[in-house]
Each structure stands twice: as C-alpha cells, then as structure tokens.
Structure 1
Amino acid sequence: MAVHLKCLSHTPLRGLNDPGADVTAEVDRALARARAEVEAFDPELIVIFAPDHYNGLFYDLMPPFVLATEAISVGDYMTTPGPLNTARDIAAQLAVHVLDHDVDLAISHRLQVDHGCAQTLEETTGSLTRYPVIPIIINSVAPPFSPYRRIRRLGEVVGQFLAGLDKRILILGSGGLSHEPPVPLIAAAPDDIRNFLIAGRNPTPEARAARQARTLAAGTIYGTPESTLTPLNPEWDQRIIDLLLDGDLAAFDRFDIAKASQEAGRSSHEIRTWVAAFAALSAFGSYTGRLDYYRPINAWIAGYGIVSAEPDAA
C-alpha cells in the first residue's frame, strides 16, 4: 500500500486565453513533471476531490458533498466528453463507510462532472479512463457553504477508508487558489439566470458557447482597472499553501468564508478540495509536502499552483 497526493489549480481558460508563450511553457513543464510522477507512481486507484460549476449540480438540489459511483464529463472548456473509469464497487463501499462515520454524503450513480474534475484528471494522467477513479464533488461555488471543519472531517473519513486498502492510491485535489470568474450569485440574479442556477442541466451548444465566451472575455481584462471582479491575491495563496504543507489543517476550522470571498474572490472556496485531500492524506500519518509551482495568471483567472505530498512513513 502506498499513497501520493497532488493538488492542482484548474482553469477553464488554459489553451483559450493566452498569458504569453513564456508562461504557457512554464506551466506546461510543471504539468509534465506532475504527470511523469503520477505515471511513475502508477496508481491503482485515484480519489479526486473536485468542485462543480453549475454543470452537474444545481440549486434544485445542492448537496455539500457528492460521491459518484459513475461519472460522465460534460466536455466543457476543451475537456474530453464521456464517461470516467469509475471504481464502482470501491466507491459504493466508501460511501457506506463515510455515512457510517457520521458524515452526511450524497451519492450519485450517474453524475455529470465538468472541467473542475476532468481537466485535472486529464492533466495528471492523460485520460479520463486510464486509472480507476472515485470522484467526490465538494460544493465550492453555490452558497451557502458547509464550514471547513466539515470539509476536514470528510477528508479524514475518506482517508481512513483508503488506509485500509492494499493499493497504490493517488489523492487529487482540484481547485483554487484565489480567483473570481464571472459566476453569478442566485441572491441577486435576474429570473433567467436564477432559473439556470436552479435547473440548467444539459444546455444547448449555443448556450454553453455563450457562457464560455463570457468567461473568456472576463479573462482578457481580469486584473486590470476595467475588471470589477476580485483580483488574484498571491499573499493569500501562499498562506493557504503554507498551512497545508505545514500540516496545520485545524486552522481551516476557523476559516471565515465571507472574508475569504472578499480577500481572494468568491471561487477561492475551491481550496476546500485541497483541504479535503490533505485531510485524507493525514489519515496515513504525518506527511511531507512541497510546492511544485505557483504563479498568479490573470489571463487564466487563476492563482495557479501545484503541490505534492506523501506520508513520512513512505
């Protein structure tokens, strides 16, 4: 049994908005190193904690956590459409374990996932289907949010289950760091947007294209005086990374959700996927982590980071 962790920022604008050839090449090299490490590790199972961006989950039923025994990528933002290679039997066993340990968990036997899950899988493995995977979606976009102590508990319980498996396990966290794309809030939305946020599944190709065009347009002015969106916050990002690498996960129990939105953008709450991933790793004992890459990239609306960790016993 062995375990390895990687947490990555994702961005729907990678390959669409150009941050400059030097930046693109730098990120490409960092991702190539991450993928080479995953291939060398050759996981027998991947557990990925990821958000959804109103593609699979909507306000008609918005659970804090969803475990998928079967998942299908919607193929947004240049990700591959189609089914993931889900580890159905193990996922079902994990769901029972989590519920038995007093963490309320929704279960989907056919969940639609978006770039928040698919991009990170493809960038670390080259495919949606190369390795068996269990996707766990954590609501990180649609307020109200569960407190971070619940995120940490979810991760711990998942990790306890994984520690009982005789497998090479890769834990992935996909999301964050500081960023604020043009995602609407239901409280202030006009009726047409509100209806989409409540039940907008399976949009037409034209509607999806228009949605993506708005995000691309936001990226072209992000970080400039023309943008009304909360800018990137590298200092905030570094504080988050330090807490995770130092193993100070209990600090997130005191995390102020409203303050994080103000300081780092309303989508900075995707770091809850990283918190869950590190909490899962902590179930294997003390760990050592490292920062593999970080750069604020306005054109991609992303405080873009990659971190890795392994148990000290390894």
Structure 2
Amino acid sequence: MVVCASHSPGMERDVERMYGTEFREGLSRARQIVEEFDPDYIVLFGGDHRRAFRHVVPTFGVALSAGIMAEAGHEAAGLAVPQELARELAEHLLESGIDIAVCRDIELDHAFAQPLRDLTGALGRYPVIPVAINCATAPLPRAERVLALGDAVGRFLDSKSGRVLVIGTGGLSHSPPSLELDTYDISDAERARIIAEGSEAARKKIKPAWDAAFLEAVRTADREALVALTDDAHSNAGAGANEVRTWLAASAAGGGVGLELLAYQPVEEWITGMAVAVSR
C-alpha cells in the first residue's frame, strides 16, 4: 500500500486546528485506511531540511538505525528500524545499480516524524526503514533516477512476504525561506529568524495550477509527466516542491499504480499546497 502526503511545521503549530480542514479530513481517512491495512513494516521516503545532512549529503540513503530529533515541542525518540531487512535493502539497491549511502544513528526531522505520527498515531507503532532522498541541497537527483530507485525498492519488496506500507512525504508547491538560500551551515536560531522574516511572502508562493498538474500525473501514473514536472519543480513551484521526489519514489516502489487523491488544499497559513493520496 502507498500513501503520499504533504507535511508542514505550520500544521503542528496550528494547535487549535483552525486551518487546513479539508487536508486534515483527507489525512484522517488515510490513517483509517492504514489502520485497516495494518502493515508489518513501513518503508518511508523522506527528505531533509539541511538538518540531518549538512556537510555530507547523500543523494539516496538507507538508514540502518535512526531516531527523530527533538522539534516543535516533541521530544527526541528512536525509530524501530529492522536492521537486517534494511541492510538487505541497501545491498539489493547497490546490486541493482542504485548508488546509495548507508546511514547509522542518524537523527531525522519532521519530514519523517510527521507522517508517522499522522498516519499511524505514534513513531514506534510499526518497524520502519527510512530512505532519505536529497530534496534540498543542490545538485538534486534527476527524476528518472528517483523513479529507478523506487522501481528497485519495489522489486525488493516483491521478493518479501508481509504487508508493507510505503510512504512518500513532502511537497507540494511551497518555498520555505530557509530553503531558498543556498547555504547549509546556519544555526536553528538563524533559521527561525529567516523563516519569520520571509513567512508573509511565502504564503503567496503556493501554485495550485502546478499542484493540480502534478496530482493528475500521480493519478494516471504518467511517468513522463512526473519527470518533467519534478525536474522543473524548483523554478515553477518553489524550493519545497523538490520534495515531490519522495512521491515519485513511493509510487514507483508500490508498483507504479496511480494514486487516488483524498484531499488537496492550498493552506496559506502553512505556506504549502497540501495533498494526500493513496493506492488501493
């Protein structure tokens, strides 16, 4: 089963749940579907916001052990990574011609934490293999290589028994001020200042027409359109739109089937075009 969903720190700051009602409803339906599916483990494709990976940035990385950093009022926590299975996946990818990095004891941010909390209710409810895709630090992987990564993960999962939930998280159109800067070595305080100063302008950088085109390509599993939209995402839909690479990888890993859209809502208060889609 595949679930792709946007994430946003703004959603967690919205503690009174005033905004993004349509998206939240779609996310709730996705969670119900996940609970009914009851996976044996999860493969989670996520990006990084130049926090886990700063000086060395893998194009693709498989985590053999990982945790979630303290962030947005949440305490740090470990993830239940099935190390033997993750190691098998890493070896399979290398044998398939996908050059990946192996990560140990990596601390991941909300790109990984938020979908786990939103879709399963807790970080540790299911074993999870985090697969990082560079969506923030240029040069970025081309969309064709991201699809090849997803295809190779899919072949690996086809060789295993059990129910697997594949998650892609990020996007759609948005341009966070901190990601617009071509820099990596800034403090959390400086990051917060940059975001605060640029947040008003970022509210107007959502591109619903681009989002609609991307979601239609996801629905029809149109790989040619997905490649074209993703490779030009930065210029047409903002720096944060690069995260749709995780959607490409997840949908390919799930067999390349089209995904059913549960909700789309441009939420200016979260500076993001928010969407959630599932395979059936």
Smaller-chain TM-score bracket: over 0.9
SS of residue matched to 2:13 = coil
1:274 paired with 2:269, answer no
One-letter amino acid of the structure 1 residue matched with residue 206 of structure 2: L
SS of residue matched to 2:145 = helix
Counterpart in the other structure of 1:232: 206
SS of residue matched to 1:140 = coil
Counterparts of 1:90 and 1:81, CA distance in 2: 24
1:79-120: CA deviations, max 9, x gaps? 452111111111000000000000000001211110011111
Counterpart in the other structure of 1:116: 111
RMSD across aligned C-alpha pairs, in angstroms?
2.2
Counterpart in the other structure of 1:301: 271
Shift in Å, 1:13: 1.1
1:36 paired with 2:32, answer yes
Counterparts of 1:304 and 1:184, CA distance in 2: 18
In structure 1, stretches of 5+ residues that fail to align are 188-193, 201-206, 225-230
1:215 paired with 2:211, answer no
Query: How many residues end up aligned between the 2 structures?
Result: 280
Match of 1:64 among 36, 59, 62: 59
Shift in Å, 1:218: 3.6
SS of residue matched to 1:183 = helix
Q: Is the 8 A contact 1:79 1:119 kept in 2?
A: no
SS of residue matched to 1:282 = coil
Counterpart in the other structure of 2:219: 245
Q: Is the 8 A contact 1:5 1:309 kept in 2?
A: yes
Counterpart in the other structure of 1:290: 260
1:166 paired with 2:161, answer yes
1:90 paired with 2:85, answer yes
Match of 2:6 among 4, 9, 20: 9
One-letter amino acid of the structure 1 residue matched with residue 10 of structure 2: L
Counterpart in the other structure of 2:144: 149
Counterparts of 1:29 and 1:184, CA distance in 2: 28
One-letter amino acid of the structure 2 residue matched with residue 305 of structure 1: A
Q: Is the 8 A contact 2:20 2:267 kept in 1?
A: no
Matches of residues 132-147 of structure 1 in structure 2 within 5 Å? 132-147=127-142
1:28-79: CA deviations, max 9, x gaps? 3222221111111110010010000011101x21111111011111122344
Counterparts of 1:154 and 1:183, CA distance in 2: 27
Counterparts of 1:262 and 1:221, CA distance in 2: 16
One-letter amino acid of the structure 2 residue matched with residue 39 of structure 1: E
Counterpart in the other structure of 1:47: 43
Summarize the Cα distance change of 1:210–1:19 in structure 2 as closer, same or farther, 3 Å threshold. farther
Q: Which moved more, 1:125-134 or 1:241-250?
A: 241-250
In structure 2, stretches of 5+ residues that fail to align are none
Counterparts of 2:216 and 2:230, CA distance in 1: 17
- TM-score, structure 1 normalization: 0.83
- TM-score, structure 2 normalization: 0.92
Summarize the Cα distance change of 1:133–1:101 in structure 2 as closer, same or farther, 3 Å threshold. same
1:211-236: CA deviations, max 9, x gaps? 34543554345335xxxxxx111110
Counterparts of 1:265 and 1:247, CA distance in 2: 23
One-letter amino acid of the structure 1 residue matched with residue 31 of structure 2: R
One-letter amino acid of the structure 1 residue matched with residue 123 of structure 2: L
Shift in Å, 1:12: 1.0
Matches of residues 186-225 of structure 1 in structure 2 within 5 Å? 187=182, 194=183, 197-198=184-185, 207-208=187-188, 211-212=191-192, 214-216=194-196, 218-224=198-204
Counterparts of 2:16 and 2:244, CA distance in 1: 23
Q: Is the 8 A contact 2:203 2:270 kept in 1?
A: no
Counterparts of 1:116 and 1:293, CA distance in 2: 19
Give identity over the alignment, percent.
32
1:7-27: CA deviations, max 9, x gaps? 000001113258972x34433
Q: Is the 8 A contact 1:295 1:305 kept in 2?
A: yes
